[in-house]
């Protein structure tokens, strides 16, 4: 680890010299790359410099202890050494985490798709609960949520709901939500008061830039039709709803929430672009399957990742064996403790992989 830190520190000094070059800003692309790399390394080098100061302080205190004869001063020196060792241990852990490569997609916006699975109307109602939970979490983070498509049931649930979340670090946090979410509770439709188990599937797709995914017009079939809401009632009388079929892959995207056909088409293309981008990422990650299996944020939609037990006010994330007895506050958007636990587990696994 320390050989790598020394190399990074040398690179950091090189970058500082490059930034001071008055000709660098003339090449805007290169200038931006250098500034980004410098900013990334700055956090690591700052902690490493503090670590080296602490190591030097420990050595000085150890030397002082060897020469000191006064019993009281020796006790004080030993106490200080214990505190320094504790701080060094914390800094080493922090440095290990900082050395784990960051996923370049973490700052992307996301498109989330929530679909009711087993459980009928109860699953649809829980899909609505999850949508509300993610909306509250996004609001607390200062992110923007935009509804893109919703298939609502008569009781206010969702058979399917698609929405985007925009803001710095959105994918970095929300990517851990991909998978099957299981709920255990007494449904509002159950007269006998028995606990039922239902399931909802969540997919989290990093939103792709237009330059990242090529969509050729000749690969698309675009159909327009009248939008309809729950129960089949018409939302409007014009053909504003849009269905886009990507012929090479068979992916179908429908958007009808806007009254404008143009806006529905633009939203549908955003969803299609995200799904195509995700397909390419899945292909790439399958080639790294051994690493992918060890990551908690693998995004496997068939994996049961979490259980929400209402009678016990309990939520359990099965990937890291984390159980919290505050389901009510989690459903209000208090996901911080779960997401941080998942991030920590993934960083530890990634660091172990680096050492192999």
What confidence tens digit (pLDDT) does each residue in 12-29 have? 899 999 999 888 888 888
Residues 309 and 328 in one domain: yes
SS3 state of residue 111: strand
Q: What sign has the CA pseudo-torsion 288, 211, 163, 158?
A: negative
Residues 48 and 177 in one domain: no
**Residues facing 110 on adjacent strands:** 165, 206
**Other C-beta atoms within 10 Å of 218: how many?**
6
Does the pLDDT value for residue 331 go beyond 90?
yes
Residues 328 and 187 in one domain: yes
Q: What is the pLDDT of residue 291?
A: 46
Give the CA dihedral 232, 233, 235, 236, nearest 10 degrees: 110
Q: Is residue 61 part of a domain?
A: yes
Task: Give the contacts of 205 (CB within 8 A, at least 6 positions apart).
Answer: 110, 111, 112, 113, 274, 275, 277, 278
Residues 130 and 195 in one domain: yes
Does the pLDDT value for residue 326 go beyond 70?
yes
Residues 225 and 191 in one domain: no
Does the pLDDT value for residue 311 go beyond 50?
yes
Query: pTM above 0.75?
Result: no
Q: What is the pLDDT of residue 300?
A: 54
246: its two tokens: 């990507």
Q: Which of 33, 68, 99 is the last residue in one of the domains? A: 99
Number of alpha carbons in the 13 Å side-chain half-sphere of residue 354 = 15
Q: What is the pLDDT of residue 233?
A: 42
Nearest CA-CA partner of 319 in 160, 176, 219: 176
Q: Is residue 169 part of a domain?
A: yes
Q: What is the pLDDT of residue 40?
A: 79
Residues 15 and 95 in one domain: yes
Q: 231: pLDDT confidence band, cut at 50, 70 and 90?
A: very low
Does the pLDDT value for residue 244 go beyond 70?
yes
Q: 288: pLDDT confidence band, cut at 50, 70 and 90?
A: low
Q: Is residue 105 part of a domain?
A: no
Task: Please write the tens of the pLDDT for every residue from 213-230.
Answer: 888 999 999 988 877 655
Looking at per-residue pLDDT, the higher value among 95 and 329 belongs to 329
Residues 66 and 138 in one domain: no
Cα 93 from Cα 104, distance rounded (Å): 22
Average pLDDT score over residue span 242-263: 88
Residues 202 and 62 in one domain: no
Q: What is the pLDDT of residue 56?
A: 92
**Other C-beta atoms within 10 Å of 319: how many?**
20
Does the pLDDT value for residue 209 go beyond 90?
no
CB 124 within 8 A of CB 157: yes
Does the pLDDT value for residue 234 go beyond 50?
no
∠ CA 200-304-134, rounded to 5°: 50
Q: Is residue 11 part of a domain?
A: yes
Q: Is residue 104 part of a domain?
A: no
Q: Is residue 345 part of a domain?
A: yes
Q: Which of 36, 67, 99 is the last residue in one of the domains? A: 99
Q: What is the pLDDT of residue 355?
A: 54
Q: 295: pLDDT confidence band, cut at 50, 70 and 90?
A: very low
Q: Is residue 344 part of a domain?
A: yes
Q: Is residue 314 part of a domain?
A: yes
Phi/psi for 202 (5° steps) reads -120, 135
Residues 23 and 141 in one domain: no
Q: How many domains does the chain have?
A: 3
Looking at per-residue pLDDT, the higher value among 204 and 106 belongs to 204
Structural domain that includes position 36: 2-99
Task: Kindly report each contact of residues 80-87 with a partner whose C-beta sits within 8 Å and lies 24 or more positions away, as own/partner.
Answer: 84/54, 84/57, 84/58, 85/58, 87/54
Residues 119 and 254 in one domain: no
Average pLDDT score over residue span 242-271: 88
Task: Please write the tens of the pLDDT for every residue from 27-75.
Answer: 888 888 888 788 878 888 988 899 999 999 999 989 888 888 888 888 9
Does the pLDDT value for residue 290 go beyond 80?
no
**Residues facing 255 on adjacent strands:** 242
Q: Which of 99, 133, 159 is the last residue in one of the domains? A: 99
279: its two tokens: 């397909």
CB 160 within 8 A of CB 200: no
Q: What sign has the CA pseudo-torsion 178, 201, 159, 224?
A: positive
CB 299 within 8 A of CB 175: yes
Cα 44 from Cα 311, distance rounded (Å): 45
Give the CATH number of the domain where residue 276 resides. 3.30.160.20
Give the CATH number of the domain where residue 128 resides. 3.30.70.1660
Q: What is the pLDDT of residue 343?
A: 87
Q: 93: pLDDT confidence band, cut at 50, 70 and 90?
A: confident
Task: Please write the tens of the pLDDT for every residue from 138-188.
Answer: 999 999 999 988 899 988 999 999 999 999 889 999 999 999 999 999 887
DSSP secondary structure of 135-152: HHHHHHHT-EEEEEEEEE
Does the pLDDT value for residue 323 go beyond 90?
yes
State what percent of residues in the chain have pLDDT above 90. 44
Q: 308: pLDDT confidence band, cut at 50, 70 and 90?
A: very high
Residues 243 and 272 in one domain: yes
Residues 298 and 203 in one domain: yes
Task: State which H helix or E strand residue 253 sits in.
Answer: strand 251-255
């Amino acid at each position: 680890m320390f050989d790598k830190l020394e190399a990074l520190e040398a690179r950091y000094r090189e970058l500082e010299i490059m930034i001071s070059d008055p000709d660098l800003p003339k090449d805007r692309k290169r200038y931006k790359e250098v500034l980004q790399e410098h900013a990334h390394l700055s956090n690591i080098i700052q902690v490493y410099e503090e670590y080296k100061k602490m190591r030097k302080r420990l050595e000085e205190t150890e030397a002082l202890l060897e020469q000191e004869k006064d019993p009281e001063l020796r006790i004080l020196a030993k106490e200080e050494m214990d505190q320094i060792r504790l701080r060094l241990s914390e800094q080493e852990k922090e440095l290990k985490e900082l050395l784990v490569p960051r996923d370049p997609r973490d700052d992307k916006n996301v498109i989330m798709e929530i679909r009711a699975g087993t459980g009928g109307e109860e699953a649809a109602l829980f899909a609505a609960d999850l949508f509300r939970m993610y909306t509250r979490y996004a609001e607390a983070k200062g992110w923007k949520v935009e509804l893109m498509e919703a298939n609502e049931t008569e009781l206010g649930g969702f058979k399917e709901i698609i929405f985007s979340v925009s803001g710095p670090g959105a994918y970095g946090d929300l990517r851990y939500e991909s998978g099957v979410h299981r709920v255990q509770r007494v449904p509002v439709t159950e007269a006998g008061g028995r606990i039922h188990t239902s399931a909802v599937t969540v997919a989290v797709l990093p939103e792709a830039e237009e330059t990242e995914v090529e969509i050729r017009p000749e690969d698309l079939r675009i159909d327009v039709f009248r939008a309809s809401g729950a129960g089949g009632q018409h939302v409007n009388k014009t053909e504003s709803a849009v269905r886009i079929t990507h012929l090479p892959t068979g992916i179908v995207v429908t958007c009808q929430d806007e009254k404008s056909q143009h806006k529905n088409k633009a939203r549908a293309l955003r969803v299609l672009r995200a799904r195509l981008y995700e397909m390419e990422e899945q292909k790439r990650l399958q080639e790294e399957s051994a690493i992918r299996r060890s990551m908690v944020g693998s995004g496997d939609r068939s994996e049961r990742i979490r259980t929400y037990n209402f009678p016990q006010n309990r939520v359990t994330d099965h990937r890291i064996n984390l159980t919290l007895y505050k389901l009510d506050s989690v459903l209000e958007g208090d996901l911080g403790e779960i997401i941080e636990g998942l991030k920590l587990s993934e960083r530890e696994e990634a660091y172990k992989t680096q050492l192999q």
